[in-house]
Every structure is written in C-alpha cells, then in structure tokens.
Amino acid sequence: MNSFVSFTDAPPLRLLRFAADAIDGIEKGLIVFYQMPGNKLIAQSVERNHDEGWEVRSVLVEDFYEFFRSERQRKGAYQWLGKDDLPFEVHNQAFSHTIFDEFDRTILLLRFLDETNQGYDLLYLYFNPRFKSAFLSSEKQSFSTSEKALTAQILHRLLATFLVLMREERESFGQLMNNTRQLANRFQNERNKTELLEKQAGQSLVEYSKDILNELACKYNRKALLSPEAETLIRNFSGKLSHLKELLTNAFHFSLILNEPNQELMIQDWHMDIEKSPLKSDKRRKEKYEHLGRTGDLLNRLEFAARSVLNDRLPLTGKNVGSHCDKPISAPAISDALKKHRSEIIALFEQYPDQWPIIRKDFAPIRNILIASGEKGKNRRVG
C-alpha cells in the first residue's frame, strides 16, 4: 500500500493506513467513523493480499448501522475481541469464506474521540495469532492478558498521538489553503481592477481619437469614423498623445486620398502604422544615429521637424522647420549651423544614402549644400 496519503483524506483513513504499515503482525484493519461534512457513517478496510501488499476497500455499513452507532457511544479506549463478538464477521462467515477463517483471530478494537466530540472512531486491528512478537521469549507462544492490555495501551497511545498530529497537520494545511485562496482572490481582484482601468484608459483614447477626427472632418467638411479594428488598435496604444494625434492625422489624410470627395471616411487599422509611429521609429532612429555625433543630431532634428511641417501641410521653409524643432530655432540659426557642419553633412549623406529623405530632397538649405558639393566634385574630375 502506498504510504503517501493526501492531506485531503480524512484523518481516520490515514490512521488506518498508518497502522497497517507501522504495526507488525496485522492481517487486516477496519476503520469506522462519522464523516463531517456529509453526516455519513464511513467504513473502510485494508487487507493483506497474496503479494504481501495491502488492498483497500470501502465497506457497506447499512446492515450494521445500529451496531456501529452503539459502539461509537461506548466508553473504553481499547478492547480485545473475537470474531464471535462482531456481528459483521459472523454475517460474513454465513455467506462467504475468507483467508481469515483458517485462523483463530485476535482482534484489537481501539476507540478515538472524533473531531465533533460526540462519539468515537472505531479502529479494528486483526492480529495473526501465528505472529511471533519480538517481545515474547522463545518459550512463550502467546500474550498473557496483562501483556495484551499493555500492548493495547501502547498502541492506543501511539496511534492517538499520530491522530492528533494528523488533525493538527490537516488544520494547518486547511489554513494554508484558505490563505492561498484569499491571496488568489485578492490577486484576481487586483487583476480585474487593472483590466478595468486599462479598458477605461483604452476607451478614453478612443474618445480622444474621435475628437481629433471630428476636428479634421469639420476642417475638410467631411465625415470620418473609426472602424472597430482601428478602435481596438487605439485601445492598445501605449505612446504619447501627441504621437497618437500624428498617427490619426496621417491616417485621415491617407483616407482622403483613397476615397471620393463626397464619400464618408472610414479610418481602418491599416491606415495607422503603429510600428512606424514617432514613438518607436524616432527612438530607433535616435539610437541608430547616436554614433553620428553632433552633425547627426542636427540632421535628425531637422528631419523630424520637416516631417511635422509636411504633416501640417505647410511649406518646407527654414522658418517653418525651425519652429517645428523640439527646441525651436530661427531660420538664420539653421543656416549658420549647416555652414559649420557642411563637410560632415556631405560625408554623412554619402555614407547613409537612404537616411534623412525629406530634407535631402525637399529642404532647400540642405539641397544647396549637396548641389554645391556635386558641382565641386565634377569640377575636380574635369580638372
């Protein structure tokens, strides 16, 4: 029999299995107890099989309910019995034969006060009379009455102590499980609160986005709506509001191009490329250009500012670019900075031909530097 018993098993069941494993000379054991909750009388037996293991069985008690009820109310910690004292054993003899019928059994009944303090749990231990105890001398073949009484006292004290420990252990385990459930409930409540806050925050972003679209729609005398997919995308947006506004503005203008003049605009999720939002793309670009030094920083600032100017549908002049920089600067200051970094700018544009596309193609001060550099290169080759 497996000695491991779950904490969830009733202590009397664990007591029966422990006794069968721990006490030598036992051929069979039976426990009868009142199970709470459920208000049910339970009986279970363990019996040694031919493989020297233990077979666990549930036992029907309906036919002997009154007998067990009476025994549970009787006093006395222990009692030695014969099979004739047990009506359920006599009953079994009349209808079937078992391996126990070949022996003159000695049965020890141990009573343990149950957890309700209203009765006793009954533990029947069937000892094999042929078992030779280590406490007996070689000449002596059986226990005397006083020795049997002493044996019963020792076993009762041992098993009573074990039963108390199991009940305390089960109570501690129950407290642990209760605390764990409380922590799990608290964790779930906090998760629910967090999810609710995230949902509310996501809905606030959707309402904010609708306000932006309404402003743009009024400006262009159009009607614009968000698709369900776009709303879902916006609810999960984790960037700055200014970046979300830029995404929506770009999406609105993109939708203007795709639709007929009098057609209602439906902003789709694929109109808004979150992965290329300023929050992420600008960060990637800044990380990528950190090694470019002050000249690279200058070009980055001008490129980001130029993009904002175009988003606002303004001319790409030095004044407009300067006012859209993260720290606004004047047009003359831009020209002066470009002159100081002229050679570095030319080198960076040659080294990174795919970067800074807006100012490279459309910002006049940069174009003039590149054109002059190209003409100077041609003159060198001609010369």
pLDDT-based confidence at 351, cuts 50/70/90? confident
Residue 148: pLDDT above 80?
A: yes
| Span 18-61, pLDDT tens digits | 998 888 888 899 999 988 766 788 888 888 877 767 888 888 88
Question: What is the per-residue pLDDT across 191-215, written as a single tens digit (0 to 9) for each?
Answer: 888 888 888 888 999 999 999 999 9
Confidence band for 3, pLDDT divided at 50, 70 and 90: very low
Say how far apart CA 251 and CA 103 lie, in whole Å.
94
Percent of the chain surpassing pLDDT 70: 81
Residue spans of the domains in the chain: they are 11-131, 277-383
Distances (CA, A) of 242 to 185, 208, 287, 331: 38, 11, 21, 25
**pLDDT > 90 fraction of the chain, expressed in percent and rounded:** 29
Which tens digit of pLDDT belongs to each residue from 61-93?
888 888 998 899 998 899 998 888 888 876 555
Please provide the distance, in angstroms rounded to a whole number, between the alpha carbons at the two ends of the chain: 103
**pLDDT grade for 112, boundaries at 50, 70 and 90:** very high
Tell me, what's the pLDDT at 142? 61
Closest CA to 67 of 32, 21, 94, 40: 32
**Per-residue b or e along 222-242, where b marks 16 or more CB atoms closer than 10 Å to that residue's CB:** bebebeeebbebbbebeeeee
219-271, pLDDT tens digit by residue? 888 899 999 999 999 988 888 888 899 889 888 888 877 777 678 899 988 88
What pLDDT score was predicted for residue 296?
84
Q: How confident is the model at residue 277 (pLDDT cuts 50, 70, 90)?
A: very low
Q: For 316-346, what is each residue's pLDDT tens digit?
A: 999 999 999 878 999 999 999 999 999 999 9
Least confident of 84-88, 132-136, 152-156, 232-236: 132-136
Please check the confidence at residue 99 and state whether its pLDDT lies above 80: no
